[in-house]
């Protein structure tokens, strides 16, 4: 690791949690330079829903590169962009009776969020965005201003403004309906909160600690948006592309967001890609008003198009839900078996997590799991939640192995706790 | 183009200037679906300095994909990241006696700029950033706040703060030294401008209209930074990676920036990639203080590493300068031959441009050039400059052809003007 | 009124509610140019607690002017400033075992609030101020940023930042403890709200609609401030100087604010005056860091010093409480007698109000009251509360007359409602 | 001074420069408690243009108080407000062919400036205000954001935004026309400076160091405002009310500001008062959109009305100019007689100053002058300018005495310098 120590900025982080040099990957497995194999319960923080190096996508990429297809095209038209747009409409939008225009912002999550915020402000002529506690939306100044984490926020070096944080579902416990506050602030002209341009939220908060909003809560947020003429932005960067089962995480709630942010797994193969979906009547952009050099990453178009094959039927979503329930059941059993770890199982689909009530225990468990061949990360504002987010294509064998390592690590870690 | 019209957001722009569907690319040429060939004087807005689909890089990419190398790794250590770091040190940093730590922000220009601004603010505990008129640094809120273009700024939808715009070299004409103002503002405690965290600038402004700062001006900016303990950030996203000749555009001036932003061509093959170079003593980041999903785009590591072969000797830089002088000479001749277009030739290396004193003429010329098989874009706050930015690997034949089309287009366009 | 219509800006407001030209005033009475007499239940929005033209103060002012005492002294030392400081210590601070340094900001409420916010930010090095729904703190940009009223906020013309609005006591109804939210936001590192410099509040919100915070709630706010090292600023501009009974409105709760803002009645005779009280250990101002031309308004020193005679015993406070209870009882009876007006009685001491559940009714009642010789204003974000805020020196006869007019006006106004 | 040391906040400043306790005042003289007499070259920082305790105003005040005139009236109509409005129109506006609506903001300079900025932003829908280097406009957040002094700005504790500082006349020396920059920034769409709501300026900068803008410069600023549809706000708080000769300092230039801010001497007797003058067609305020408790300070109406007697003929202005020239001549002679002090004489009318090229010398001179019975303060961002701003009613004898003390103090102070 010496090259990294010498040459890479101190800002590097995951390489500290997983201190080895990775070389190869396939499906739900990774191998390091010593040939050690790891089961991946991390999945590129949600960027590898279809697993590492899916063979179908791989072949398409090899062919496209070999035949000298256009690789970089800014936002000019290309055959592969066209194919992606058509296929996305056929496979994703039309079956769900959704009608969205597609915007290609810069190829990262924070870029799609920034584009969404800009557009919402333009359409409404208002400045405030309402976001939620524990929300995570990105690291550039606009996206950071709607992100809850104080360590990340502090990194801005300037005050983060034009955003108001409201309590997420269950943030105030079971007894207090968190939307009561939002409604009171909106309806009272003396609340100190001006009518916002938009509300932005994740249906399941990944970085915030696998907090799941109920379908009723989402429905009520949408109603509030409609009542007050506020735009609803769903940041589906981590929860989208099937992570919770359906392609869009908001499908079960029946809500129809005005703007949807997608990135991470939309690129299919872990390639940088992001799109912003906009209701046609809200597509008030002027040409070039938001741009970027890498909006035409054709390898990502190729990969993303091929990845849509997973969505031709609803089998993939069903399997994710089945595996998710299996994981959740397992995690719930852990909460009972290891009371000393003060565990809580959380999640939807394969966006699962295990919250530890004992400080630093989640970190310790992930560290021990790594030693045992499992890659799992923590999230939550105190790093108190171990995420269980394998590639969606993982088979039951892989799932069982990974969960078994997780349990072993908890046993080992809580031994230390008990001493 | 109907799919694009129906499905892509109105924000799309270059596809309006170059209304065809591109399919293949090689070197300095592109082909559309009808098989029409185009000479590329645009080069992905500077992202394709080594041309489209360089055969050496291509083979490396094919091999890496074929052998199931890790594609997506967040910021974990991988063999290909390691190779890139080593090679970048050997080929770029050490021969230039530069010592920088390397940060991998999100893989776009605006991400590296945002990381630079955050770090400068953290190090100094100050908020203000000084930027320059006509500067362009990106579309996310932090980068946009130091960007000059009013159309882009207005897209923010919120006031852009914590930045002070100062006149770039020559902005006030030949008679007024533009740095006089900056110095007066800094030295006078009643100027209304607080001591900034950093000064950010491009040595040649690409989007701002191919404005070239003199080496003396750059040197003086550095002196001002040293005198006042201000960090100097060079945004070399467009002018770097050899566009002006040397790898870093600031090399001829002898300045040593505290932070350098690179993106566009650093990825070698037009793949999304960006790095932030930081003087080791300024690497005050906490782990994870700035992060992002696509910091470990291994295809870009592979391509970027291979692309460094161009820099093993100084031959490549010399050739760029030679070709740049050739282009510049040609452009200067145009200024004399077509006085009615009120032309001005500008540029350094192969970052050349032709400013048109007649409104809308640059656009018209680029439109006519496209019809004749040349891709060239405009820049400048009124779109008054046609950029001549071919891939650096272009041969003299390609250059001559492209310039010839440019001249023909001017002839045609000025006919209209004269009528 | 024609001169006013022609020459005074449209921003004028109270002269629209009370459309006559006033000429003389004494005690709790005002007379207009036609000799019509009005009972004053408005008291200069709390600036005339000791009544109009108190004879004792009047004589002191006459003497001081006659003998050519210094009138304007910036912040130079004068005999009258010295007397005020000594007397304020003897009569107010020492008997209450309070230890504060006295700052003289500009002579208005918004100036003292601005000075308090600046100082809190300087001491803590933090930017955020927590304020409360329905809070009113002033019209200049700093004070306005912590004011809740959306109409006033919108007047800023720029976004108001660095402030977070939290629900005031009872804002969320009886069932939800409004401080739960504040505590959750502070304790959770992912809440999106950074540790504030200060919390600013009124113990009874005057402009916000006579909302009374319970003593327990105030106590808990103080505990939260201590636990998190947040400064507590009490804006006692309207509720202070005996309006609720005791000199400081916060006395019954036993809290010890870090900074106290006083204005309105501190000047004794309705003269512009304001002071900021600062715990000695927090007096971190540099000389001249906050200044203003009218910090040395010696007529106000003279008046303010004499006005302190009301506080030599606790008789004055007791009388205010007695009268307040009388008013409150009367208002409560009204709520029962006129159910069609959907009344609610609110208040503490002689800061009483009657909330009307029927739209526009409060305005109508005040209008009718004016016709009958009573001056009373509305407050609340919808103007739904008629304030009952006579000078504290009012006698029972005046009180009875005023309340009787109020009832008559309600009878008349609700007639209209019933039709 | 012990009471002040013990009880008054450290923020106090002038009492440190003039360490005595003042008791009485008359005309251009002050007396302390020991009976020592001082000549006043400070005049309440411009608030006492008509001298201390003018006998005419004094009598009016005594009468008004004696007869129980309304003292405090918020913004209700009163006889004295009516008289002021009429008289101001007759004596000031009509003879100058000016047409303005009068707004009564809070009674201080910073309040009128805040009201002007709000209104300009409302009218134009823009946020940016352009101010000038060394400008001083007040201490509340809005006014502070357009103030140049870094010490004062830093006191804000939050970043000051929505304002752009431009070089004042002569800020860049004789060779560079400071408005060139402003024009370039406005006309270039890539300048990074958006079209402002307003330009705010002082025609002579008092706190900034007695910097005098030329009439041509003022005229050009007005032209720029008209060309770009920018509102022109003249902050005449210090330079107005005859300080430079004419009632409004901008009269000689012939410009017609859209909004004028007046305070300090408008109250006539040193009483807190401020007005905002607004072109009738720009009076777009909604009722109550900006308010304040002390807008109806009737003693100030009485004093201000009587003070207008000075303006019934042009004699007063002529005398000021004559005395100003006399002072200026004297100061110029000093510059020649004491080259070691590196003096520069500056000013217009009786707003004169002497800049010292030697550090700390101005402070020393003022300190020595105080010992000799003269009150004079420094200004400028380094306190390098001794202001000569006696009451306008000063006679030649007083002027001579004061100037003589000033010279003696320079002699004494430069002795030290020479050692």
Residue C34 contacts A where some CB pair is shorter than 8 Å: no
Q: Residues C205, C211: contact at Cβ < 8 Å?
A: yes
Residue A72 contacts C where some CB pair is shorter than 8 Å: no
Q: Label residues C42-54 b or e (16+ Cβ within 10 Å = b).
A: bbbbbbbbbbbbb
Choose the closest CB to D7 out of C65, C89, C114.
C89
Q: How far D149 CA sits from the closest chain B CA (Å)?
A: 4
Residue B70 contacts A where some CB pair is shorter than 8 Å: yes
Chain-centre distance for alpha carbon D254: 20
Which residues make Cβ contacts (< 8 Å) with residue D22, sequence separation at least 6? C70, C73, C76, C77, C78, C79, D30, D31, D32, D33
DSSP string, C124-162: H----EEEETT----SSHHHHHT---HHHHHTTSS---S
D126 CB neighbours in chain A (<8 A) are none
Tell me the residues of chain A between 310 and 349 that have a Cβ less than 8 Å away from chain B.
Answer: none
CA atoms within 13 A on the CB side of A275: 24
- Convert the pLDDT of each residue in B197-225 to its tens digit: 999 999 999 999 999 999 999 999 999 99
- C36 token code pair: 């019509």
Q: Which residue of B has its CA nearest to A63?
A: B62
Residue B288 contacts C where some CB pair is shorter than 8 Å: no
Whether B1 has a pLDDT exceeding 90, the answer reads no
Residue C158 contacts B where some CB pair is shorter than 8 Å: yes
Q: Which stretches of chain A drop beneath a pLDDT of 70? A: 1, 416-419
User: Cβ separation of B141 and A139 shorter than 8 Å?
Assistant: no
User: Cβ separation of A159 and C162 shorter than 8 Å?
Assistant: yes
Q: Which residue of D has its CA nearest to C263?
A: D293
Whether B416 has a pLDDT exceeding 70, the answer reads no
Q: What is the pLDDT, as a whole number, of residue C417?
A: 63
The span from the CA of D389 to the CA of D49, in Å, is 9
D191 CB neighbours in chain B (<8 A) are 133-134, 148, 150, 165
Residue D133 contacts C where some CB pair is shorter than 8 Å: no
The span from the CA of C250 to the CA of C254, in Å, is 7
The span from the CA of A295 to the CA of B45, in Å, is 12
User: Cβ separation of C192 and A135 shorter than 8 Å?
Assistant: yes
DSSP string, D129-155: EEEETT----SSHHHHHT---HHHHHT
Determine the average pLDDT of the residues in B324-343. Answer: 97
Q: Three-class SS of residue B123? A: helix
Tell me the angle at which helices A215-228 and A178-187 cross, rounded to the nearest 10 degrees: 0
Q: Residues C327, C347: contact at Cβ < 8 Å?
A: yes
Q: What is the pLDDT, as a whole number, of residue D415?
A: 87
Burial of C9 (0-12, 13-18, 19+ CB in 10 A): buried
DSSP string, D384-402: -EEEE---TT--HHHHHHH
The span from the CA of D164 to the CA of D130, in Å, is 5
In this complex, the chains that touch C, judged by 3 or more CB pairs closer than 8 A, are: A, B, D
Which segments within B240-363 are labelled E, that is strand?
259-262, 275-278, 343-348, 351-356
D276 CB neighbours in chain C (<8 A) are 9
Residue A70 contacts B where some CB pair is shorter than 8 Å: yes
User: Cβ separation of D271 and C299 shorter than 8 Å?
Assistant: yes
Q: What is the pLDDT, as a whole number, of residue C415?
A: 87
Reported CATH class of domain B58-311: alpha beta
Chain-centre distance for alpha carbon C86: 24
Choose the closest CB to A159 out of C127, C150, C176.
C127
Residue B35 contacts A where some CB pair is shorter than 8 Å: no
The span from the CA of D224 to the CA of B324, in Å, is 41
User: Cβ separation of D192 and B165 shorter than 8 Å?
Assistant: yes
Helix (H) or strand (E) holding A356: strand A351-356
Interface size A-C, in CB pairs within 8 Å, comes to 110
Whether C43 has a pLDDT exceeding 70, the answer reads yes
Roughly how many angstroms between the first and final C-alpha of chain B, as a whole number?
A: 33
What CATH architecture is A2-53+314-418?
Alpha-Beta Complex (3.90)
Q: What is the pLDDT, as a whole number, of residue C1?
A: 63
C184 CB neighbours in chain A (<8 A) are 133, 167, 171-172
Residue B7 contacts C where some CB pair is shorter than 8 Å: no
User: Cβ separation of C140 and D111 shorter than 8 Å?
Assistant: yes
Q: Is the pTM of this model over 0.90?
A: yes
Q: Which residue of A has its CA nearest to D160?
A: A159
Burial of B312 (0-12, 13-18, 19+ CB in 10 A): exposed
Burial of D417 (0-12, 13-18, 19+ CB in 10 A): middle
User: B387: which strand partners?
Assistant: B353
D134 CB neighbours in chain B (<8 A) are 188, 190-191
| Mean pLDDT over each residue of chain D, to the nearest integer | 97
User: B132: which strand partners?
Assistant: B166
Where do runs of H (alpha helix) occur along C188-285?
215-228
Q: How many residues does chain D have?
A: 419
Choose the closest CB to D121 out of C138, C158, C270.
C158
Q: Residues C169, C157: contact at Cβ < 8 Å?
A: no
D192 CB neighbours in chain B (<8 A) are 131-133, 135, 146-148, 153, 163, 165
Q: Which stretches of chain D drop beneath a pLDDT of 50? A: 419
The span from the CA of D50 to the CA of D35, in Å, is 23
Give domain limits for chain C.
2-53+314-418, 58-311
Q: Which residue of A has its CA nearest to B63?
A: A62
Where do runs of H (alpha helix) occur along D188-268?
215-228
Burial of D215 (0-12, 13-18, 19+ CB in 10 A): middle
Q: Three-class SS of residue C280? A: helix
Determine the average pLDDT of the residues in C101-129. Answer: 97
Choose the closest CB to B148 out of D154, D165, D190.
D190
DSSP string, A379-393: ESTTS-EEEE---TT
Interface size C-D, in CB pairs within 8 Å, comes to 367
- Convert the pLDDT of each residue in C116-163 to its tens digit: 999 999 999 999 999 999 999 999 999 999 999 999 999 999 999 999
Which residues make Cβ contacts (< 8 Å) with residue A6, sequence separation at least 6? none
Tell me the angle at which helices C298-307 and C79-87 cross, rounded to the nearest 10 degrees: 30
Q: What is the pLDDT, as a whole number, of residue C174?
A: 84
Q: How far A419 CA sits from the closest chain B CA (Å)?
A: 30
The span from the CA of B11 to the CA of C235, in Å, is 49
Characterise B360 by phi-psi region: left (phi > 0), alpha (psi -120 to 50), beta (else).
Answer: left
The span from the CA of D78 to the CA of C77, in Å, is 34
The span from the CA of C414 to the CA of C393, in Å, is 31
Q: What is the pLDDT, as a whole number, of residue A116?
A: 98
The span from the CA of A380 to the CA of A228, in Å, is 31
Residue A8 contacts B where some CB pair is shorter than 8 Å: yes
User: Cβ separation of D193 and B154 shorter than 8 Å?
Assistant: no
B73 CB neighbours in chain A (<8 A) are 22, 44
Q: Three-class SS of residue B251? A: helix
Which residues make Cβ contacts (< 8 Å) with residue B275, sequence separation at least 6? B102, B103, B104, B105, B112, B262, B263, B266
Whether C416 has a pLDDT exceeding 90, the answer reads no
A21 CB neighbours in chain B (<8 A) are 77-79, 82
To test the contact with chain D by mutation, choose from C89, C293, C295, C366 the residue with the greatest count of D C-beta atoms within 10 A, namely C293
The span from the CA of B176 to the CA of B178, in Å, is 6
Chain-centre distance for alpha carbon D371: 26
The span from the CA of C6 to the CA of C1, in Å, is 9
Q: What is the pLDDT, as a whole number, of residue A415?
A: 87
Q: Is the dihedral of CA B379, B380, B382, B387 positive or negative?
A: negative
Which 8-state DSSP code applies to residue A156? T
Choose the closest CB to B381 out of D132, D176, D189.
D189
């Amino acid at each position: 690791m010496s090259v990294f120590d010498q040459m890479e900025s101190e800002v590097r982080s995951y390489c500290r949690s997983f201190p080895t040099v990775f070389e190869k990957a396939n499906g739900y497995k990774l191998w390091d330079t010593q040939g050690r194999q790891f089961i991946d319960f991390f999945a590129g923080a949600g960027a590898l829903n279809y697993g590492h190096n899916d063979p179908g996508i791989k072949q398409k990429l090899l062919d496209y590169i070999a035949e000298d297809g256009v690789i970089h095209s800014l936002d000019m038209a290309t055959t592969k962009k066209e194919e992606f747009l058509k296929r996305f409409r056929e496979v994703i939008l039309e079956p769900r009776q959704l009608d969205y225009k597609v915007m290609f912002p810069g190829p990262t999550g924070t870029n799609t969020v920034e584009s969404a915020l800009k557009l919402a402000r333009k359409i409404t002529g208002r400045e405030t965005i309402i976001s939620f506690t524990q929300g995570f939306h990105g690291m550039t100044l606009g996206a950071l201003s709607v992100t809850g984490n104080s360590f990340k926020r502090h990194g801005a070096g300037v005050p983060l403004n034009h955003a108001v944080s409201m309590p997420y579902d269950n943030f105030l416990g079971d007894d207090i309906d968190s939307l009561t506050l939002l409604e009171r602030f909106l309806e009272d002209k003396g609340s100190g909160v001006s009518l916002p341009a938009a509300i932005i939220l994740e249906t399941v908060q990944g970085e915030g600690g696998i907090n799941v909003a109920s379908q009723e809560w989402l429905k009520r947020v949408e109603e509030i948006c409609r009542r007050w003429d506020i735009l609803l932005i769903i940041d589906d960067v981590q929860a989208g592309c099937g992570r919770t089962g359906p392609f869009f995480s908001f499908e079960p709630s029946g809500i129809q967001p005005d703007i949807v942010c997608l990135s991470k797994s939309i690129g299919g193969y872990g390639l940088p890609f992001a799109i912003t979906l906009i209701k046609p009547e809200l597509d008030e952009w002027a040409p070039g008003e938001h741009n970027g050099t890498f909006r035409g990453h054709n390898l990502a178009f190729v990969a993303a198009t091929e990845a849509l094959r997973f969505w031709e039927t609803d089998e993939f979503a069903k399997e994710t839900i089945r595996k998710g329930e299996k994981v959740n059941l397992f995690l719930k059993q852990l909460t009972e078996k290891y009371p000393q770890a003060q565990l809580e199982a959380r999640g939807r689909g394969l966006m699962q997590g295990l919250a530890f009530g004992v400080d630093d225990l989640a970190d310790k468990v992930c560290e021990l799991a790594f030693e045992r061949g499992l890659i799992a990360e923590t999230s939550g504002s105190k790093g108190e939640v171990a995420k269980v987010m394998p590639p969606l294509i993982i088979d039951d064998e892989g799932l069982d192995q990974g969960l078994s390592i997780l349990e072993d690590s908890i046993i080992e870690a809580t031994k230390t706790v008990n001493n």
